[in-house]
Amino acid sequence: MATIVLFHHVQGLTPGVQAMAAELRAAGHSVHTLDLFAGKLPKDIDAGIRMANKLGEDKIQERVDKFFSKLPEELVYIGSSWGAALAQQCAQQRPGARAAVLLESFVDVEADWSFGPWPENVPVQIHGMDEDPFFAKEGDLEAAQRFVEGEGYELAQLFTYPGNKHLFTDSSLRSHDPEARAVVMERVIKFLEPFA
């Protein structure tokens, strides 16, 4: 059984994010979700970005640190979009990371050293749509491609899906793509089998 921290995207801890947590629990894992927006569910991505900016990095970090104080060190980090950046930061900076799953976002390891290097022996899966205006059109996909092809990153996998939706893995949003999400979850659950 893996102990997983699942970070939500900028529209909050939606029913879709909670459904993903339930699916991972049904696969035998212990899943912890942190509601960084204290129950608020922004109506769209722009509203969510405004909320995250209003909270500020210090407040968000304070909530994250408080949350982790009650958890073991060895964790798998999963996040979607904005939450994927938080998951990636944790995987790269917190000791004990076992694996990471980054949905619809990837911070360029080579260009942005603020997270530090990718830790050795920490496998990672990256998932996103090939025409997503955020993931594909803002450089995340290209950075992820360089990352998985780079020396020393043999434990990194990148999966792309046809389409232009962002937050397609959230079953409670209009952007949801049921078929693509089903494939993502099948791959993620298989990826987590060694940690079960």
Q: Got the DSSP string for 43-100?
A: SSHHHHHHHHHHH-HHHHHHHHHHHHTTS-S-EEEEEETHHHHHHHHHHHHSTTEEEE
What's the confidence (pLDDT) of residue 188?
98
Using a pLDDT cut of 90, give the percent of the chain over it: 82
Domain ranges of the chain: 3-195
Mean pLDDT of 163-170: 98
Q: Name the nearest CA neighbour of 30 among 5, 55, 53.
A: 5
Instruction: Output 116 or 35, whichever has higher pLDDT.
Output: 35
> What CATH number should be reported for the domain whose range is 3-195?
3.40.50.1820
pLDDT tens across 39-55, in order? 999 999 999 999 999 98
